[in-house]
Amino acid sequence: MSNIQTFNFSLGRKERNKLNNHTSFVVWFTGLSGSGKSTLANMLEKLLYEAKVNTFILDGDNLRKGLNKELNFSNKEREENLRVAAEVAKILVNSGSVVLASFISPKKTNRDMVKEIIGKDDFIEVFVNTSLETCEKRDVKGLYKKARAGEIKNFTGIDSPYENPLNPDIEINTERENLEEAANRILKLLQKKLELK
């Protein structure tokens, strides 16, 4: 590591933000599998696109199909998956994008690590608060059924805990709130943050 020297490139985040006419940061969606994180991120991205904001979605499943395909679901490797996701998100923020990151990130320590890598000023936490019962009823990927049958081990909500965020920037309850209204509520929260100073 002592032989690594960072090259100082001419253009940085400040210049890219100026070109894009908005700031860049990460919106981190956390919640159980099936809570609606990716659906909400997708809806929010459409709204941001209409507002001419450069975005990029990072999704747990997509990252595991490529960059992190060698990682399994042990606690250690789940943490590594999130560390890599946070580092990628940080690179994308420096490229001038608003990153919408959808990851279960079940533990407070996971989210604290992510926040530390990205930087607390560039991290907005969205807690998609959907009960285990509702997520299990939805079971869009059939994972809860497999977990209950013992076919999947270490599954969040079944045999691995999910720790609810204590102070998220915004909380969405998908059982009581329309997702379109929720996406608009998040957009409203982001509007001031998007403004260049």
Please identify every residue annotated as catalytic. 105
Check residue 156 and report its DSSP letter. B
Identity at 196, one-letter amino acid code: L
Asked if 63 and 101 touch (Cβ cutoff 8 Å), the reply is no
Could you tell me which of 110, 107, 115, 79 has the C-alpha nearest to residue 163?
107
d(CA 31, CA 128): 5
- Which two tokens mark 43? 């809806």
